[in-house]
Amino acid sequence: MDRKLKLLISDDSKLLRKKLRAELEALDCDVIESENGKEAILKELQDKPDGVILDIVMPEVGGIEALQVIKEISPEVPVVMLSSAGTPQKLMQTLKMGALDFIQKPYSSEQIKKAVEAIRKKAVQNEETEDGQ
């Protein structure tokens, strides 16, 4: 994959989105933002990002519901869940629903870097699968 990775971050905290955007752009990613799960679903349909980073607790449509819909419309897209409300039950639930990873807030830059590497690897596999069809 020679192009930049296009990532969607969805979190109701503007401050967190700003911080995460800066970290992702430093990792050579193009960033799309949404402030709730409803917007995340619409942006997934419109912008077709290579990966999604979703907060669990958001207004209108929460991250778990957004994950479910995103996986229905784009089952191959890697989704990383990000939450301060991380319980073992929510962690297991999102992983069973197809989330690639679950990161507890406050996160470290190293966790974000690893998540981006995992998304990039999955995006490359998805492209190779499409090219092979």
Predicted local confidence at residue 86, as pLDDT:
65
Angle at Cα 20 formed by Cα 17 and Cα 21, nearest 5°? 80
Domain count, the chain: 1
Asked whether residue 107 is domain-assigned, the answer is yes
Predicted local confidence at residue 89, as pLDDT:
87
Q: How far apart are CA 2 and CA 15, in angstroms?
A: 30
Asked whether residue 133 is domain-assigned, the answer is no
104 contact partners, CB below 8 Å, separation of at least 6: 83, 84, 86
Summarised one tens digit per residue, pLDDT across range 72-130 is 999 999 999 998 876 788 888 999 999 999 999 999 999 999 999 999 999 999 888 88
Domain that holds residue 56: 5-127
Asked whether residue 119 is domain-assigned, the answer is yes
CATH code for the domain of 19: 3.40.50.2300
Whole-prediction pTM: 0.94
